[in-house]
Chains A and B, each alone.
Chain A
């Protein structure tokens, strides 16, 4: 199975900060990666697909990059509604696998 190593596991930041979350795949997955945001008690929402394409409803402050084994999610200027848990997902090979998650908290 492909392992997705996501870092950091938690992050404290302030409104207006720029933050970056990283996912590393144990083998190359082309750009078959998505990023998801989950708030407590809610279903996850997809923010990024194909590693760098912004979901139509997602704010433009979110961006994704990478290919192969290294991927990043960047939030350019944190807003209060961005404090949540973020997950990467590889959908290159079954079984699909998620990263462990990054909990983004208010500093």
Chain B
């Protein structure tokens, strides 16, 4: 069974940093593209970033480019999202997703940016 478990969310002040983690199980992690999607309260879903299997090519939404960094550790079966210079409008539930078709989602971790 595919499982994606996120952690690392919390309350942070504007301008602060946070690192999200996602531990994967039930599949061969290194064989899949992985990514992050967020759900902004009262609004919709926003694709954030992904890291392509093999080539490790990386893509970001314009709204996070230059502030967020995605990475992976294929030994630890883990995906990360380093979030710097956080803003109020980064407040959201962040989901870890598997593959470029977003077939599987984690349960999400809440990031709240507020002073």
Using CB atoms and an 8 Å cutoff, list the residues of chain A in contact with chain B: 1, 34, 36, 38, 43-46, 49, 55, 87, 89, 91, 94-101
Q: Is there a chain A Cβ closer than 8 Å to B11's Cβ?
A: no
Using CB atoms and an 8 Å cutoff, list the residues of chain B in contact with chain A: 37, 39, 44-47, 50, 59-62, 95, 100-103, 105-108
Partner of B102, one of A1, A46, A94: A46
Question: Residue of A at shortest CB range from B59?
Answer: A94
- Residue pair A87, B45 in contact (C-beta under 8 Å): yes
- Residue pair A49, B47 in contact (C-beta under 8 Å): no
CB distance from A44 to the nearest CB of B (A): 6
Most buried by A among B39, B45, B46: B45
- Residue pair B102, A43 in contact (C-beta under 8 Å): no
Residues of B contacting A36 in the complex (Cβ-Cβ under 8 angstroms)? 45, 102
